[in-house]
């Protein structure tokens, strides 16, 4: 329990921390109350508490130990809110503003402030560990919002204490999936005019944090996103339901409860208790088409999509709810057959896939089946995988499968300077900024119209650009820098990254709403040693390098004893050297070893290969090795090996990044990434 020394010893100060149920005392219902009525009721409570407008507010703080404990207790929501706090500050920065995140009782845990406003913020007690309970500080946005649990704007003279009448403050609550307030977002200004949009911005940011927290809490379950309008399913206006794989309701956000008002919803509810279409049918429809339309039992219709469908793809037959008919169970076999059937009407087939690139690995084939209907509906697709696993090749296949007549436009997000990202992506109008080209410039979105935009190294996008990308995904419109006009765009977006976006979301470096929007259809490309079609892949690459050159089985086994931290890209570079150095038409174990030894002579580390004892003794006999290969195919070991190779190569090339990247067959951004680590 946090403690605070009361300013007036004769007054009872309510507990700072929420009650065991997580809630501070709450006011009577606020339904239908205007902002003016909220302020009037707050003033009445202040008078009843014995406060007077002329009272000098005390600077009340929580002691260091308790403050640290409270921040640690709420570390999860603070981490999710960090990106939104920075974004909100960026939207209103330069206007003598401070933004703050407080706990449910008005304790400020994190804050950002303009340099011009910092002195005022200190004088007005807007700082870390300060308390803004209404009973202590009078009517104020933070304290009043904590009490009424409703967005509040308190402008100038609406503050109860005279000391704060130069401030304008807006605050909005953040609720957890159980409907309990867990945090409050606040923006405070010393400006005189009433800011017209501040409360709306704060409330929007609070809802974004709330939805991110909901998705974080239930990331291991199905999340159904729905709205009566299709384009709003990925906005803060969407209803969210967390469901088990058999359709049992786990949680609902406030908007979902609003949509489903009139239905009897509790923790015993099942999807079928709320909607008329059986759960299994809805899931199969979403897996096949990317979305579905449903109606609830009171007659309202919704467009829906389901997040985290990979949970279904891992289970061929998720259990149905006891007592339900068979039609409510989900059969992934039926779904896969439907995908194959639909694929005949699409622009590609499994045969086409094998022609364009090698994908005979069973896991890859399974993931490819879900792409056909995704591209037919222009759903965004996220490709993840380590460096060199073939993400761009895969993206080109998606473009070809879509049958779009426009261009395939690749862009490396990590290679564009941060201050130029927006103008490169969205273009700019004449006079948009100093040094801009006369007449403006069309951006990459314009170039990719009617085609596919491939956003590689997605995790490198600045947060402010992530917001604009999210709007493009939702509205299919973008706005050039310096323009007041939105431009419609018909585009297939494919994003790729070798970073762990989940960790980036937790660290506040990547927006959770964009992550979940993109990962509706997500493809994980395996490392080449984890692929069952390694032999086919190696022979295919070698054939493209020189159609007249082949590999023996023992030569292939020798290749498998290498770590290949650079995956396909490194394998391609190695096979190119193999062809150049070996003047034979059939590459055996001997030629492969000789090329590895050549790399050793050049100073490339050989730790990626198994010890000599594990190599077969006769290429002609083709016997298996007496011991299993000692290569380690785990992600961490490959990353460690690649890091070692990058650092050694940097020392040899005096940190010439381009030379290092060429030598190792990796991208420059990958080199920078490992150097930072």
Q: How far is CA 175 from CA 104, 430, 620, in A?
A: 9, 44, 69
Number of separate domains in the chain? 4
Dihedral of CA 459/463/466/470: which sign?
Answer: positive
Which secondary-structure segment (H or E) carries 304? strand 301-307
Q: Would you say residue 19 lies in a domain?
A: no
Report which of 140, 127, 148, 144 is spatially closest to residue 67, judged by C-alpha positions.
127
pLDDT in tens, 290-302: 789 999 988 889 9
* CA contacts within 13 A on the Cβ side of 206: 32
The beta strand positions in 13-135, using DSSP E, are: 97-102, 108-113
Q: Which residue, of 475, 498, 526, is where some domain finishes?
A: 526
Domain match, 62 and 191 both: yes
CATH number for the domain spanning 547: value is: 1.10.8.60
Average the pLDDT over 315-344 and give the result. 35
How many other CB atoms are there within 10 angstroms of residue 503's CB atom?
A: 11
Q: Which of 111-120, 260-269, 277-286, 464-473 has the lowest mean pLDDT?
A: 111-120
Domain match, 94 and 148 both: yes
Separation of alpha carbons 488 and 353, rounded Å: 31
Q: Would you say residue 643 lies in a domain?
A: no
pLDDT in tens, 79-107: 888 878 887 877 776 567 788 999 998 89
What is the predicted pLDDT for the residue at 234?
78
Q: Would you say residue 494 lies in a domain?
A: yes
Domain match, 512 and 544 both: no
Instruction: Examine the pLDDT at 329 and tell me if it is beyond 50.
Output: no
Considering the chain, what is the average pLDDT of its residues? 77
Complete DSSP assignment for 443-462: -HHHHTTTSEEEEESGGGS-
Q: Would you say residue 11 lies in a domain?
A: no
Show the CA angle centred on residue 414, arms to residues 516 and 643, nearest 5°: 100
Q: Would you say residue 84 lies in a domain?
A: yes
Domain match, 57 and 143 both: yes
Let me know how many helices (H) and strands (E) the chain has, helices first: 28, 19
CATH number for the domain spanning 401: value is: 3.40.50.300
Q: Would you say residue 664 lies in a domain?
A: no
CATH number for the domain spanning 194: value is: 3.30.450.40
Domain match, 522 and 541 both: no
Residue 21 CB-density burial (10 A; 0-12 exposed, 13-18 middle, 19+ buried) = exposed
The beta strand positions in 346-451, using DSSP E, are: 381-384, 408-412
Q: What is the chain's percent helix, strand, coil content, to nearest 5?
A: 45, 15, 40
Range of the domain at 471: 348-526
Domain match, 393 and 275 both: no
Q: What is the distance of C-alpha 33 from the center of its chain?
A: 36
pLDDT in tens, 147-158: 999 999 999 889
How many other CB atoms are there within 10 angstroms of residue 456's CB atom?
A: 22
Residue 333 makes CB contacts below 8 A (sequence gap 6+) with: 316, 317
pLDDT in tens, 576-634: 888 887 778 888 888 888 777 665 544 444 434 433 333 333 333 333 333 333 333 34
Q: Which residue, of 526, 543, 578, is where some domain finishes?
A: 526
Domain match, 429 and 308 both: no
Instruction: Examine the pLDDT at 22 and tell me if it is beyond 80.
Output: no
Q: Which of 70-74, 94-98, 394-398, 622-626 has the lowest mean pLDDT?
A: 622-626
Does 670 or 319 have the greater pLDDT score?
670
How many other CB atoms are there within 10 angstroms of residue 538's CB atom?
A: 23
Separation of alpha carbons 294 and 207, rounded Å: 25
Domain match, 243 and 313 both: yes
Domain match, 369 and 381 both: yes
Q: Would you say residue 400 lies in a domain?
A: yes
Report which of 125, 121, 117, 133 is spatially closest to residue 59, judged by C-alpha positions.
125
Domain match, 362 and 499 both: yes
Domain match, 416 and 492 both: yes
Q: What is the distance of C-alpha 483 from the center of its chain?
A: 28
Separation of alpha carbons 444 and 449, rounded Å: 9
Is the CB of residue 494 less than 8 Å from the CB of residue 409?
A: no
The torsion angles phi and psi of 129, rounded to 5 degrees, stand at 70, 5
What is the predicted pLDDT for the residue at 279?
93
Q: Which residue, of 526, 543, 577, is where some domain finishes?
A: 526
pLDDT in tens, 331-369: 333 333 333 333 333 333 333 333 356 777 877 877 777
β-pairing, 222-227 with 239-243?
Answer: antiparallel
Separation of alpha carbons 400 and 409, rounded Å: 12
How many other CB atoms are there within 10 angstroms of residue 618's CB atom?
A: 9
Domain match, 150 and 103 both: yes
Q: Crossing angle of helices 332-343/279-289, nearest 10°?
A: 30
Separation of alpha carbons 486 and 473, rounded Å: 13
pLDDT in tens, 181-217: 999 999 988 766 666 678 888 988 899 899 989 998 9
What is the predicted pLDDT for the residue at 343?
34
The torsion angles phi and psi of 454, rounded to 5 degrees, stand at -105, 110
Q: Would you say residue 362 lies in a domain?
A: yes
Alpha helices in 314-368 (DSSP H): 332-343, 350-356, 362-368
Show the CA angle centred on residue 552, arms to residues 550 and 558, nearest 5°: 115
């Amino acid at each position: 329990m946090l403690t605070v020394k009361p300013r007036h010893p004769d007054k009872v100060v309510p507990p700072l921390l929420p009650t065991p149920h997580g809630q501070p005392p709450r006011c009577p219902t606020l339904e239908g109350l205007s902002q003016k009525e909220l302020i009037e009721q707050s003033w009445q409570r202040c008078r009843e508490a014995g406060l007077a407008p002329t009272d000098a507010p005390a600077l009340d703080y929580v002691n260091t130990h308790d403050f640290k404990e409270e921040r640690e207790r709420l570390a999860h929501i603070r981490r999710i809110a960090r990106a939104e706090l920075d974004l909100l500050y960026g939207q209103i920065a330069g206007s003598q503003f401070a933004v703050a995140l407080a706990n449910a009782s008005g304790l400020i845990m994190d804050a950002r402030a303009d340099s011009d406003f910092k002195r005022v913020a200190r004088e007005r007690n807007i700082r870390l560990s300060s308390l803004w309970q209404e009973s202590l500080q009078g009517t104020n946005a933070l304290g009043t919002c904590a009490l009424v649990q409703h967005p509040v704007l308190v402008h100038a003279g609406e503050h109860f204490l005279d000391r704060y009448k130069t401030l304008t403050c807006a605050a909005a609550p953040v609720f957890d999936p159980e409907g309990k307030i867990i945090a409050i977002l606040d923006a405070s200004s010393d400006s005189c005019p009433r800011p017209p949009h501040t409360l709306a911005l704060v409330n929007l940011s609070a809802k974004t944090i709330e939805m991110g927290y909901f998705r974080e809490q239930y990331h291991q379950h199905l999340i159904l996103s729905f709205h009566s309008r299709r384009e709003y399913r990925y906005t803060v206006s969407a209803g969210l339901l967390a469901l088990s794989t058999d359709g049992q309701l786990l949680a609902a956000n406030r908007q979902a409860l609003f949509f489903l008002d009139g239905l009897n919803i509790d923790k015993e509810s099942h999807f079928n208790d709320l909607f008329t279409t059986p759960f299994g049918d809805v899931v199969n429809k979403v897996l096949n088409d990317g979305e579905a339309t449903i109606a609830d039992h009171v007659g309202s219709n919704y467009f829906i999509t389901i997040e985290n469908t990979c949970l279904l793809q891992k289970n061929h037959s998720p259990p149905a709810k006891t007592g339900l008919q068979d039609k409510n169970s989900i059969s992934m076999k039926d779904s896969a057959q439907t995908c194959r059937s639909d694929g005949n009407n699409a622009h590609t087939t499994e045969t086409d896939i094998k022609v364009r690139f090698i994908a005979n690995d069973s896991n890859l084939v399974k993931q490819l089946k879900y792409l056909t209907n995704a591209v037919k509906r222009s759903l965004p697709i996220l490709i993840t995988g380590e460096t060199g696993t073939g993400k761009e090749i895969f993206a080109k296949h998606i473009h070809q499968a879509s049958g779009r007549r426009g261009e395939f436009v690749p862009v490396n997000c990590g290679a564009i300077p941060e201050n130029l990202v927006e103008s490169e992506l969205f273009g700019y109008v004449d006079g948009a900024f100093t040094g801009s080209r006369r007449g403006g410039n069309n951006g990459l979105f314009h170039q990719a119209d009617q085609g596919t935009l491939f956003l590689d190294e997605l995790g490198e996008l600045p947060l402010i650009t992530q917001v604009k990308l999210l709007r493009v995904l939702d509205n299919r419109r973008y706005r050039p820098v310096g323009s007041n006009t939105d431009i419609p765009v018909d585009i297939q977006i494919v994003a790729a990254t070798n970073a762990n976006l989940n960790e980036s979301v937790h660290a506040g470096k990547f927006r959770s709403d964009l992550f979940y929007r993109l990962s509706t259809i997500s493809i994980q490309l395996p490392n080449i040693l984890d692929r069952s079609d390694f032999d086919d892949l190696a022979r295919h690459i070698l054939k493209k390098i020189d159609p007249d050159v082949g590999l023996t089985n023992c030569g292939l086994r020798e290749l498998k004893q290498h770590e290949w931290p650079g995956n396909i890209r490194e394998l391609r570079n190695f096979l190119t050297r193999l062809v150049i150095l070996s003047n034979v038409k059939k590459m055996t174990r001997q030629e492969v070893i000789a090329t590895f030894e050549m790399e050793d002579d050049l100073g490339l580390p050989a730790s990626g290969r198994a010890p000599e004892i594990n190599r077969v003794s006769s290429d002609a006999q083709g016997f298996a090795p007496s011991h299993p290969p000692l290569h380690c195919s785990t992600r961490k070991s490959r990353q460690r090996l690649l890091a070692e190779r990058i650092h050694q190569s940097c020392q040899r090339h005096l940190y010439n990044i381009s030379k290092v990247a060429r030598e190792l067959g990796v991208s420059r951004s990958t080199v920078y990434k490992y150097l930072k680590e």
